[in-house]
Amino acid sequence: MRILQITPLRYPEIKGGVDTMVVNLTGRLRLAGHEVCVFIPGDWPQATLGHRDESGVAVYSLRLRLPQDPDRPVAALLGWLAEMPLTLARLRSMLRRERIDLIHAHLAKDYLYYFRLLRWLGGPRYIVTLHGSDIVTLGQLNRLSRTLARFALRGASRITTVSRWLIDVARQQIPDLHDIECVHNGLEFDDIAFDTPSVTALSKNGLPQRYAIMVGSFDPYKGHESVLHAWPEVLAHDPELHLVIVGEGELLPRYEELIRAYGLSGRVHLPGQLSRAATFSLMRAATLMILPSHREGFSYALLEAGAARAPVICNTIPSFRELIIDMDNGMLCDTGNRHDLARAVCMLAGDAELRQRLGKSLHERVRTGYTAEIMARDYARIYAGCLT
């Protein structure tokens, strides 16, 4: 099969879970003998079809203009009317040049309406994978974007989600969706690398031997703030347990403010955005890992914790409960309750046997059930079903 992957931001760079999933899936599909191309919606200057090669993968980009701009409504509509036929022609030429059999789009995005229009013009079928925030927040989009995204989803041959609970969310948002299936994210163990020198350098700059780690963008739904609120209570019971928060984002000033307000300077560390190898090395060396997200599609950080054998404390959200069994391969805790979280952290930090058992159990479950090979095999089956 010849598959086009539509990814929203970048390829092959990895800065988030969707990037990780697309790179892992593309690599495994190619190993299985399928041909894979990638399309990235371009920025405003990208008015013509761009093309480059990334290690044998053809990567295309083109802006997909919408018919609305609140600041220039008339000009935006006229510009869209003039450009839309050209865009369809360029996309159709790309699909024919690569002899694409099926399109696999990621996230419920408004620009996907182009691919439903192409389908009406005889183009290939397409499926859409929902990753989490895209479908959870669909109702919060402006009316046009919401309408276009739903229009695109209704034209898909199949909808997939990265967790089972997202199936219900999708059906709540668009009641008449059909053929929804869950395919969990899978980790590419062969690509896991370590960057011990970077971790050693961090240690020389004050990184402690005993620390809990959190990994993720500094967004409200990631729940980092709830852990900062709980950390003074943790330190009251375990003064030597530090906290390391890897990532970056607009909430950095808020985190720094809380660190100062609670007197946590020197006990909470913000090393910024690190390489995946350095982050994985930190996870492997951590005393424990905390995943306090208020929502997640299906967290790659959790899968990577399993690969690193890191004992985890997770918030009790549905997608975490699809993988974590409390006190079997991790601990489930309401991270919104600072007292419960502090107790869970102190309990796990103080019990080496429990940490080893939970970390080993999570590793075994991820290694046997959540690999990139399994994920790619499931998608290849879905692709074949759409083409028969």
Q: What is the pLDDT along the chain (388 residues), one digit of tens a residue?
A: 999 999 999 999 988 899 999 999 999 999 999 999 999 999 988 999 999 999 999 999 999 999 988 888 888 889 899 999 999 999 999 999 999 999 999 999 999 999 999 999 999 999 999 999 999 999 899 999 999 999 999 999 999 999 999 999 999 999 988 789 999 999 998 888 877 777 777 776 677 889 999 999 999 999 999 999 999 999 999 999 999 999 999 999 999 999 999 999 999 999 999 988 899 999 999 999 999 999 999 999 999 999 999 999 999 999 999 999 999 999 999 988 999 999 999 999 999 999 999 999 999 999 999 999 999 999 999 999 999 8
Residue range 299-355, pLDDT digits in tens: 999 999 999 999 999 999 999 999 999 999 999 999 889 999 999 999 999 999 999
Q: What is the CATH number of domain 2-188+371-387?
A: 3.40.50.2000
**How far apart are the C-alpha atoms of 199 and 278, rounded to whole Å?**
6
Q: What is the CATH number of domain 192-369?
A: 3.40.50.2000
- SS3 label, residue 35: strand
pTM check: above 0.85: yes
Domains of the chain, by residue range, sit at 2-188+371-387, 192-369
Integer Cα distance of 173 and 135 in angstroms = 7
Region at 353 (left for phi over 0; alpha for psi -120 to 50; beta for the rest) = alpha
Q: Do domains 2-188+371-387 and 192-369 have the same CATH topology?
A: yes
Tell me, what DSSP letter sits at residue 251?
T
Q: List Cβ neighbours of 186 (8 Å cut-off, separation of 6 or more).
A: 21, 24, 25, 28, 303, 370, 371, 372, 373, 374, 375, 376
